[in-house]
Amino acid sequence: MVSNDRILRQLLLAVGGGCLLGCVLASCVVSLFLMQPAILTALANPVGIRTRTPTITWTPTETHTPTATATATLTPTSIFPTRVRTATPAPSVTATSSTPKPKPSETAPPTSTPRPVVQHFLVGRPVAPNAKMIFPDPTYLYGTTEKGDLDVHHGEEFENPIGTSLYAVADGTVVTAGSDMQRICGNDGKGMCGPYITAGKGFYGNLVVIRLAQDYNGVPVFALYGHMNKVFVTAGTAVKKGDLIGEIGMSGIALGPHVHFEIRLGVNDYSHTRNPILWMTPLPGHGSLAGRYTDTEGNLIRGALVDIYRTDNTFLFETETYGRDRWPAVNSDDQLKENFAIGDLPAGDYVVRIAGQPFAVRVSIERGKLSLVEIGGS
């Protein structure tokens, strides 16, 4: 009985020890299985050697932004001093836009200078040679509208400060002097001086009209000064060229100080004006230009833009052919039959073009003389 109990205890101890050993072995196997990656890594990388996975850093690629290139724009080169607009406003037609002129195409070669003309430079300047402005304003010449902004101009403007002295342009007799709020013009002294009379202002305001001592082909010639500040003469006064007759102002409907200067032929009224450039002696070293731009039937074309270039294609300035509005029309010279004119061009060669048309005329300007160009026609 005792022997059997001992055998049973020994058996239980063996079984228990076997189970314990089995558990230990199983744990070792599981641990080795779980540690396999680390063991392999350790074996592949001996102690003291470290590996580093590089961090991918995004480096932006430089993008080239084009630098804007300036586009050259042809700026007109003026042969006249810069002016501030002070003309009398009276819009009557639609204005047209203007842009700087490009160099013209060479597809329309200039033609030669046309026939010589008869000239009649009978008057000088209404201002002294040392006045601030001795050129007529080229932006508002006789017969033009400043591209539709103003009424058709019946004279030329010399823009100078108030008080600038005004002088007789030729020998003659004062036939009108005073304010045109009254009817003091006409050959009988009872007509209107301008196209209308504004209450409290008139049209020209204070003015003087001189009848030249020298007629032209038996027809009387009159010189009118408008918008004066002071008048120093009276009707009936005999004057010599260069005599002081008054001062520049801005009377009448003027917006700024200037003298409005006209030439009237035959009758002292608004409907008998002529282009003063054709009567005014050019400045020393300069000449004047008259032109005719016509259709195929020889009719004068109104309101066309006329561009003046040097012969190297440098654009100088732009003017217009004579326009027409609700007032009495401006008049061409009886002999020249022109519809545009430009004064005081330095002597030399020029090219005259009609904007937007394939017409070009080369013209030579001579000192102290008048040249004529004829464009278009048949």
Phi, psi of 4 (to 5 degrees): -65, -40
246 forms beta bridges with 166, 231
Nearest to 111, CA basis, from 358, 347, 320: 358
Residue ranges of domains in the chain, CATH in brackets: 156-278 (2.70.70.10), 286-376 (2.60.40.10)
Nearest to 247, CA basis, from 141, 129, 128: 128
88 contact partners, CB below 8 Å, separation of at least 6: 150, 151, 252, 253, 254, 255, 260
Instruction: Give CA–CA dist 190/327, Å, rounded.
Output: 19
pLDDT score, position 17: 58
CB atoms within 10 A of CB 254: 24
Look-up of token digits 């017969």: 143
Q: Which of 18-27, 81-90, 155-164, 220-229 has the lowest mean pLDDT?
A: 81-90
pLDDT digits (tens, 9 = 90+) for 273-323: 999 999 999 999 999 999 999 999 999 999 999 999 999 999 999 999 999
Greater confidence, 11 or 327? 327
Would you say the pTM of this structure is higher than 0.85?
no
Q: Which of 31-40, 87-96, 142-151, 191-200 has the lowest mean pLDDT?
A: 87-96
Statement: residue 171 has pLDDT above 70: yes
Instruction: Give CA–CA dist 340/203, Å, rounded.
Output: 25
pLDDT digits (tens, 9 = 90+) for 333-359: 999 999 999 999 999 999 999 999 988
**What is the per-residue DSSP string for 108-154?**
S--B-----------B--SS-TTSS--S--TTS-TT--TTTTSPPPS
pLDDT score, position 11: 57
259-265 and 156-158 beta bridge pairing: antiparallel
- C-alpha distances in Å from residue 70, one per residue of 66, 73, 101: 12, 9, 18
| Cβ atoms of residues 308 and 302 within 8 Å | no
Statement: residue 106 has pLDDT above 80: no
For residue 338, with 0-12 CB atoms within 10 Å meaning exposed, 13-18 middle and 19 or more buried, which class applies? Answer: buried
